[in-house]
Structure 1
Amino acid sequence: MHVLRTPDHRFADLPGYPYTPRYHEVGEGLRLHYLDEGPADAPVVLMMHGQPSWSYLYRRMIPPVVHAGSRVLAPDLIGFGRSDKPADRNAYTYENHVAWMLEWLDARDLSDVVLFCQDWGGLIGLRLVAARPDLFAGVIAGNTGLPDGQGMSDAVASWIRFSQAVPELPIGGILQGASGRTLTDAEVAAYDAPFPDETYKAGARAFPLLIPLTPEHASVAENKAAWAVLERWTKPFVTCFSDADPITAGGERVFQTRVPGCADQPHRTIAGGGHFLQEDAPTELAEMIIELRRRV
């Protein structure tokens, strides 16, 4: 497997991201990057990003959560951030990503984890919850889902067409366009940093086609099995969806209807939030995590 590794200098002096890189090898020699902030014996919060972002997305949420007494783990999915990037798109399957993240997670020797997940961070993170339900104490899901072949909206279909047809995938531009706030030029550049050129974007290109939206997609059966676990989940499950995200609009109702742990939880709608709600409401989201972490 031909694997690309973004040069370290691309990550020098990124605004608001002073964190020490850590690495763990998964699969067939793939280096996975993650952040590990806060006391080693503190209650754990796992923050999982989606496509085409990376752990930089959580830079403004990590400090208040750590300050409140938690340990924060924020990995970069394979193909993103400082993690290795297989050049062959065929290496990127939904099941590979779940397996890689499970391997990394199991090696951490954790307990009573609270998961915060968004976008593909939910598609993969909720599979982790289903695979290791005793490991997790609670979930906060924002602007995400767990598709199992029920079809797609016009907004999702449009995103898929764009992601496959555009000659150069504008990673920083995508983050800007799908956030409610205006990012600085330096922040946009930070989202571009992991991808020196198009050869590094195989994962970013592959992900939209991996969403199991139709019965013919791979991973439909696996997601149905995950839903069977979540439909018995009685631990706290909180939703925080934006009011201005066409991609995941209405997705909170699916969780609130199907997951017993959603009952009587302080669900929120993020006012004025785009798809990348971490850019739009980091303080509000951090407060949600702190509140949940205190009661589980």
Structure 2
Amino acid sequence: MSAPHDSFATEADAAAGTEADVAASLPPTGIVLAATPLGNIADASPRLAHALGSADVVAAEDTRRTRALAAALEVEITGRVVSNFDHNEDARAQDLLDAARTGTVLVVTDAGMPLVSDPGHSIVAAAHDAGVPVTCIPGPSAVTTALALSGLNVGHFIFDGFAPRKPGARRAWLESLAGERRAVCCFESPHRIEQLLIDAASVLGRDRRAAVCRELTKTYEEVKRGTLGELAEWAAGGVRGEITLVIEGGETEQREPEDLVGQVAELVDTGERLKDAVKRVAKEHGVKVGDLYDAALAARG
């Protein structure tokens, strides 16, 4: 009888190997960024759990939430826990950098990946400049989760953080996306999502497809897909939870002004001035206002 093939390890050997790999994944010194669960605790990786219990310093966006996460994972944090949030991370960077020269500094936020609209940039930039090692424990991210769940064409995308709060800045931002061919992903609060969708429908066109992804990985997770016009009407009923919005990119082919004259005429029929209607449609489709205006006049005969 031939001997068992060496590549097939027993379950005990596999478990021992896994534990050793996890333990070896934490460097002796440097900055370690770690993604934390968006909502479902089961998404926490073994490497995250090990890092929480082994790091010399844990720099947390909210120390209470990080301690609660460790408790849920049945992990005892043995290192020093310090706060590292938007308003103190610049001042905290030097202290964390000093600690990272002789030990491991774990950087975590409340949910998802540090630096992605969350604290972390100051210490990572300082560490790179100082030649201090930086590594990452990958994991949950609201951005990639929403893109995957959206069911839209997201092969190419951009992420723009939180949408601007002020009306003028928000509209200017949306206008900059009128000719964007890539999908756009952003965060928004439940109190402002309705107005964002209304403005997006006005600037980008009511028929542009999008998806509102809320409470990702949590009990009441929901993905609402539709056109911007449909979603704006849906949001009027109120939306709760943490929200990630995905807007599909614009048309891949440039529209000719003559093809858009009908849309201009429809807006004029509703009482909108010709110049305003032309300007809106031109922005929606990335054509020159003057060319579309001439085409609209020519169509009138």
Q: Higher relative contact order by CA 8 Å / sep ≥ 6: 1 or 2?
A: 1
**TM-score (norm: length of structure 2):** 0.26
**TM-score (norm: length of structure 1):** 0.26
* Greater Cα radius of gyration, structure 1 or 2: 2
